[in-house]
């Protein structure tokens, strides 16, 4: 075993592909329509699956009659998903699953199932402020509570505090301890054990206030300016273009082949085995491509489990269950909402002194986690108090959405700070710079990025005080925001094989969400072996290959690149050992460059890659790569990014138009520059989408979603984006290693655009999306204020 510290990234002069624009290796397969997705698998004798779904947002199932559906010609299997007596928690919740010979037949069969419901009171509106005097939940934490907290990504320190204070009503060993971070496991083991308490039926779950310093005194200080405002961001959907779904078939009585559309290929068998009562090792998951996930596709979900169950009942025939578009928008993922009333104070010179906020939001029936407010400055701001109330409602199940909790916290914080800067009459760039040390370890990164963004946007030359004073209905404005994210690489393993004929294969059970994972793996392997990417074959997306972590939280790039580097270094060194004697040297004197193995500094002593590999002998070289998780020096955590937006607002129609956006982003060592830039461009566009258009519109009376289609659940189109500029901070922070990028650039756009609109029209539009109606309402409010 070599010394772990021998692994390092090659210096810039030795990089041909790493950090360069090498092109997406799967680019042509995709653009020519040949790339296969879960939706595209059409095995022989395929059956089509569909669900009977609850029409009510909350109800108890009184009876289920599947007899008519079972008798229909062409129906091959019917399975009850939620039994009589169960409670459904959102409109569209799955009740019965059916498989039939074709899609029209299965849709007919769905209509033939008779379900009686007892309707229960529901809540689908979350923008109204909850009562403030509710006592926090002090009942002992149940196993369900714990799962909710984990699902909602409640920060570890908050969880540990609650576990200590409230105690637990279950035995720690009953919890899925191997899925829980060690510090929380410790807290569970030492927590007081209490008998379970019946929860009071409430829509609201307030958390205890968190306080630092003396906020009340700080707000009363004589020399401070206080700004107050309310800010919010509604529940939005993931709207993956490839809807959620799976095709499963039993290859024999106890072996299952699955094609789940998933962000976690290696994790699918373990998540299905219990339900299907077979060993996880009997399940093989295969996925070539995935048509979008954005945090919503980690588990097999009911469509995965029930396509397998229906297949079993139908004698093993493959069953495809893909959600229709309305189902996708209704049930396959809600990003939690967040609203807050905020007071924030600074001295007249702009020095921030205090924050006070009362916030709420929903993550569906689980309540939801609290966003890290005040964002970025929480650890170092001398005085703050934050209160958070989770709204338990029936809008649909929460799923992680790219940078969970961060876009929400960022909007609330950056908009409140921007309003304060406006009140102080300060340029936000000066205001943020003045307080930059409050951001902690990334302060220098932000300062570097401010300079770049200022230059690219022309901020200092073009910024004006709040409210565009030029004549006419169209008002122009600038806004900015900043963000951070962890993004340390996940656990990952791979096998890299060099054959005696010179061919090279990498096997890794990872997945490429379109982020460029394949391209990055190829870049690292090619540079390490001195080959070009087309000389290397990458096999991925199959549980027959070594495990690789789920693609969430920007963990993939660190995981796969560090693992590939380790395997490639080991394989290359093994090859050096084989050829060194023939070249009359020692392995440490060799290098692999441009398809050759040669003695460093001696161009005469050289072997072509093919001739070098011929010395391997009959047994191929195989190197197993396995990174060290959190301790791996090839990767790191914590990035900084700055974004600026330039908008025009038509004050007569309320329409907001993006003129330009600038994203300046750090992610340590950039592995694949072009796909990294594409991630940032894509994040800006996704950000424009949620800033201006996206909202899950719910009918308070019926409890159903009113816009479950792509006409009224609007995504930004090619005409909505303006000019986009992305600057990656390359060759600046390389020594930190590789850090994830998927989440960070999508955090700031909402705040930057909201701030730009306020700068244009002179008044804050409190809630996203910034629809014409909301813009006009804000303008009207201001006019009323002026008149009074």
Partner 1 sequence: MSKKDDKSSSFSRREFLKISGIAASVPLVIGPTVVKVEGEEVAVHGPGAVPVTLNVNGKDFHAELEPRVTLLDALRENFDITGPKRVCDRGECGACTVLIDDRAVYSCTTLAIEAEGKQIVTAEGLGNGQPHPVQEAFVNNDAQQCGFCTPGLTVATKAFLEKHPHATDEEIAQGIGGNLCRCGTYRGIHGVVAQMTGREPKGTAGTTMIAQHVSSLKGGA
Q: Look up tokens 């290796």; give the residue.
A: 25
Residue 25 is a binding residue for partner 1 (CB under 8 A): yes
d(CA 785, CA 342): 20
Nearest 5°: phi and psi at 630?
A: -60, -25
Interface region with partner 1, contact rule CB under 8 A, candidates 17-25, 209-217, 597-605, 618-626: 17-25
Q: Which of 120, 224, 577, 724 binds partner 1 (CB under 8 A)?
A: 724
Residues 529-558 binding partner 1 (CB under 8 A) are 532-534
Applying CB under 8 A, the site for partner 1 has a residue count of 64
Residues 200-239 binding partner 1 (CB under 8 A) are 239
CA gyration radius for the chain?
28
d(CA 639, CA 402): 15
Q: How far is the CB of 395 from partner 1 (least distance, A)?
A: 21
DSSP 156-170: HHHHHHHHHHH-BSS
Query: What is the phi-psi region of residue 598: left when phi exceeds 0, alpha when psi lies from -120 to 50, beta otherwise?
Result: beta
Q: How far is the CB of 683 from partner 1 (least distance, A)?
A: 7
Interface region with partner 1, contact rule CB under 8 A, candidates 24-32, 265-273, 536-544, 603-611: 24-32
Best CA proximity match to 112, nearest among 157, 67, 166, 78: 67
Which residue number, 290 or 506, has a Cβ lying nearer to partner 1? 290
Q: How far is the CB of 479 from partner 1 (least distance, A)?
A: 19
Which residue number, 36 or 313, has a Cβ lying nearer to partner 1? 36
Residue 520 is a binding residue for partner 1 (CB under 8 A): no
d(CA 767, CA 341): 11
Q: Which of 513, 520, 747, 775 binds partner 1 (CB under 8 A)?
A: 513
Q: How far is the CB of 326 from partner 1 (least distance, A)?
A: 9
Contact partners, residue 194, CB within 8 Å, separation at least 6: 140, 167, 168, 169
The site map against partner 1 for 453-492 (x = CB under 8 A) is: ----------------------------------------
Q: Which of 537, 717, 731, 780 binds partner 1 (CB under 8 A)?
A: 717
Which residue number, 160 or 747, has a Cβ lying nearer to partner 1? 747
Q: How far is the CB of 512 from partner 1 (least distance, A)?
A: 9
Q: Which of 4, 6, 8, 31 binds partner 1 (CB under 8 A)?
A: 31
Percent of the chain as helix, strand, coil, to the nearest 5: 35, 25, 40
Q: Which of 290, 392, 420, 658 binds partner 1 (CB under 8 A)?
A: 290
d(CA 66, CA 114): 7
d(CA 683, CA 740): 14
Which residue number, 163 or 741, has a Cβ lying nearer to partner 1? 741
Residue 294 is a binding residue for partner 1 (CB under 8 A): yes
Q: Which of 2, 4, 14, 21 binds partner 1 (CB under 8 A)?
A: 21
Which residue number, 285 or 675, has a Cβ lying nearer to partner 1? 675
Which residue number, 348 or 594, has a Cβ lying nearer to partner 1? 594
d(CA 201, CA 12): 60
3-state secondary structure of 628: coil
Residue 27 is a binding residue for partner 1 (CB under 8 A): yes
What length does the chain have? Answer: 788
Interface region with partner 1, contact rule CB under 8 A, candidates 203-211, 445-453, 597-605, 716-724: 716-724
Interface region with partner 1, contact rule CB under 8 A, candidates 126-134, 173-181, 284-292, 362-370: 284-292
Q: How far is the CB of 516 from partner 1 (least distance, A)?
A: 8
Contact partners, residue 487, CB within 8 Å, separation at least 6: 553, 554, 555, 557, 558, 637, 638, 639, 667, 739, 740, 741, 742, 743, 744
Provide the 10 A C-beta neighbour count for residue 150: 17
Q: Look up tokens 């992305």; give the residue.
A: 726
Best CA proximity match to 246, nearest among 223, 228, 215, 269: 269
Q: Which of 715, 730, 776, 777 binds partner 1 (CB under 8 A)?
A: 715
The torsion angle over the Cα atoms of residues 101, 106, 108 and 111, rounded to 10 degrees, is 150
Provide the 10 A C-beta neighbour count for residue 784: 9
Q: How far is the CB of 759 from partner 1 (least distance, A)?
A: 24
Question: Token pair of 209, please?
Answer: 């206030």
Q: How far is the CB of 730 from partner 1 (least distance, A)?
A: 15
Query: What is the phi-psi region of residue 644: left when phi exceeds 0, alpha when psi lies from -120 to 50, beta otherwise?
Result: beta
Best CA proximity match to 521, nearest among 567, 475, 476: 567
Q: How far is the CB of 504 from partner 1 (least distance, A)?
A: 15
Q: Which of 7, 9, 37, 459 binds partner 1 (CB under 8 A)?
A: 37
Residue 650 is a binding residue for partner 1 (CB under 8 A): no
Residue 719 is a binding residue for partner 1 (CB under 8 A): yes
Q: How far is the CB of 103 from partner 1 (least distance, A)?
A: 8
Best CA proximity match to 662, nearest among 638, 683, 690, 691: 683
Residue 710 is a binding residue for partner 1 (CB under 8 A): yes
The site map against partner 1 for 669-708 (x = CB under 8 A) is: -----xx-xxx-xxxxxx--x-------------------
Residues 588-627 binding partner 1 (CB under 8 A) are none
Provide the 10 A C-beta neighbour count for residue 760: 25
Which residue number, 296 or 439, has a Cβ lying nearer to partner 1? 296
Contact partners, residue 396, CB within 8 Å, separation at least 6: 90, 91, 92, 235, 330, 331, 333, 334, 364, 696, 705
Q: How far is the CB of 385 from partner 1 (least distance, A)?
A: 37
Q: How far is the CB of 751 from partner 1 (least distance, A)?
A: 18
Q: How far is the CB of 434 from partner 1 (least distance, A)?
A: 33
- Is 369 in contact with 183 (CB distance < 8 Å)? no
Interface region with partner 1, contact rule CB under 8 A, candidates 77-85, 291-299, 355-363, 612-620: 291-299
Residues 100-119 binding partner 1 (CB under 8 A) are 102-104
Q: How far is the CB of 774 from partner 1 (least distance, A)?
A: 23
- Is 391 in contact with 364 (CB distance < 8 Å)? no
DSSP 283-304: EEEB-SB-S--TTS-SS-HHHH
Q: How far is the CB of 237 from partner 1 (least distance, A)?
A: 10
Residue 26 is a binding residue for partner 1 (CB under 8 A): yes
Which residue number, 503 or 589, has a Cβ lying nearer to partner 1? 503
Burial class (CB in 10 A: 0-12, 13-18, 19+), 225: middle
Q: How far is the CB of 694 from partner 1 (least distance, A)?
A: 11
Nearest 5°: phi and psi at 512?
A: -120, 110
Residues 237-266 binding partner 1 (CB under 8 A) are 239-243
Q: How far is the CB of 324 from partner 1 (least distance, A)?
A: 7
Residues 303-362 binding partner 1 (CB under 8 A) are 324-325
**Which residues share a beta bridge with 641?**
483, 665
- Is 329 in contact with 705 (CB distance < 8 Å)? yes
Q: Which residues bind partner 1 (CB under 8 A)?
A: 21-37, 39-40, 42, 102-104, 239-243, 289-292, 294, 324-325, 513-516, 532-534, 674-675, 677-679, 681-686, 689, 709-711, 715-719, 721, 724
């Amino acid at each position: 075993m070599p010394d772990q510290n021998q692994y390092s990234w090659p210096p810039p002069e030795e990089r041909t592909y790493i950090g360069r624009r090498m092109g997406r290796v799967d680019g042509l397969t995709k653009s020519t329509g040949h790339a296969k997705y879960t939706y595209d698998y059409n095995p022989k004798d395929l059956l089509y699956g569909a669900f009977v779904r609850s029409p009510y947002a909350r109800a108890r199932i009184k009876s289920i009659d599947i007899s008519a559906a079972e008798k229909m010609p062409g129906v091959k299997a019917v399975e009850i998903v939620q039994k009589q007596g169960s409670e459904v928690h959102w409109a569209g919740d799955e009740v019965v699953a059916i498989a039939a010979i074709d899609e029209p037949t299965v849709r007919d069969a769905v209509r033939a199932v008779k379900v009686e419901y007892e309707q229960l009171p529901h809540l689908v509106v979350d923008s109204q402020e909850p009562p403030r005097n509710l006592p926090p939940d002090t009942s002992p934490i149940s196993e369900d509570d714990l799962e909710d907290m984990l699902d909602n990504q409640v920060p570890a320190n908050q969880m540990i505090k609650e576990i200590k204070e409230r105690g637990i009503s279950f035995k720690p060993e009953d919890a899925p301890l191997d899925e829980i971070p060690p510090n929380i496991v410790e807290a569970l083991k030492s927590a007081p054990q209490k008998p379970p308490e019946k929860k009071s039926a409430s829509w609201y779950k307030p958390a205890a206030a968190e306080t630092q310093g003396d906020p009340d005194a700080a707000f009363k200080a004589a020399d401070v300016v206080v700004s107050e405002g309310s800010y919010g961001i509604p529940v939005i959907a993931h709207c993956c273009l490839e809807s959620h779904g799976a095709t499963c078939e039993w290859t024999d009585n106890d072996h299952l082949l699955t094609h789940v559309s998933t962000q976690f290929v290696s994790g699918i068998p373990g998540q299905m085995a219990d339900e299907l009562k077979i060993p996880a090792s009997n399940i093989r998951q295969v996925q070539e491509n995935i048509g979008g996930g954005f945090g919503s596709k980690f588990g097999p979900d009911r469509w995965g489990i029930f396509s397998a169950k229906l297949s079993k009942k139908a004698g093993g025939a493959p069953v495809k269950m893909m959600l229709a578009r309305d189902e996708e928008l209704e049930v396959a993922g809600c990003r939690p909402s967040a609203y807050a009333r905020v007071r924030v104070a600074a001295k007249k010179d702009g020095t921030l002194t205090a924050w006070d906020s009362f916030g709420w939001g929903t993550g569906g029936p689980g309540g939801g986690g609290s966003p890290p407010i005040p964002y970025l400055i929480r650890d170092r701001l001398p005085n703050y108090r934050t209160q958070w109330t989770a709204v338990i409602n029936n809008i649909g199940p929460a799923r992680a959405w790219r940078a969970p909790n961060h876009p929400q916290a960022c909007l609330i914080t950056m908009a409140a700070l921007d309003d304060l800067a406006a009140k102080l009459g300060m340029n936000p760039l000066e205001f943020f710079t003045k307080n930059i040390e409050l951001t902690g370890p990334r302060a220098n990164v932000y300062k570097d990025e401010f300079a770049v963004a200022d230059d690219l946007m022309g901020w200092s030359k073009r910024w004006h005080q709040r409210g565009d004073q030029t004549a006419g209905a169209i008002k122009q404005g600038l806004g900015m925001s900043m963000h951070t994210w962890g993004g340390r690489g996940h656990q990952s393993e791979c096998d890299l094989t060099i054959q005696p004929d010179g061919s090279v294969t990498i096997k890794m059970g990872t997945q490429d969400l379109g982020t460029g994972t394949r391209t990055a793996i190829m870049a690292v392997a090619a540079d390490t072996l001195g080959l070009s990417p087309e000389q290397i074959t990458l096999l991925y997306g199959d549980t027959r290959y070594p495990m690789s972590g789920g693609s969430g939280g920007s963990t993939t790039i660190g995981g796969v690149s560090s693992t590939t580097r380790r395997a490639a270094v080991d394989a290359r060194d093994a090859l050096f050992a084989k050829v060194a004697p023939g070249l009359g040297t020692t392995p440490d004197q060799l290098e692999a460059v441009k398809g050759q193995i040669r003695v460093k500094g001696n161009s005469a002593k050289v072997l072509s890659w093919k001739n070098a590999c011929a010395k391997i002998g009959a047994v191929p070289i195989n190197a197993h790569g396995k990174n060290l998780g959190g301790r791996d020096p090839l990767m790191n955590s914590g990035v900084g990014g700055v974004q600026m937006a330039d908008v025009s607002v038509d004050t007569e129609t309320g329409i907001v138009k993006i003129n330009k956006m600038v994203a300046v982003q750090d992610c340590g060592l950039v592995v694949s520059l072009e796909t990294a830039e594409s991630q940032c461009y894509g994040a800006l566009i996704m950000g424009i989408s949620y800033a201006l258009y996206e909202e899950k519109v719910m009918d308070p009376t019926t409890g159903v979603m009113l816009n479950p289609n792509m006409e009224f659940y609007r995504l930004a189109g090619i005409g909505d984006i303006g000019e986009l500029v992305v600057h990656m901070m390359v060759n600046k922070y390389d020594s930190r290693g590789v850090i994830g990028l998927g989440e960070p650039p999508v955090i700031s756009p909402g705040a930057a655009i909201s701030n730009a609109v306020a700068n244009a029209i002179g008044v804050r539009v409190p809630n996203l999306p910034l629809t014409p109606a909301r813009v006009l309402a804000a303008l009207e409010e201001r006019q009323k204020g002026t008149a009074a």
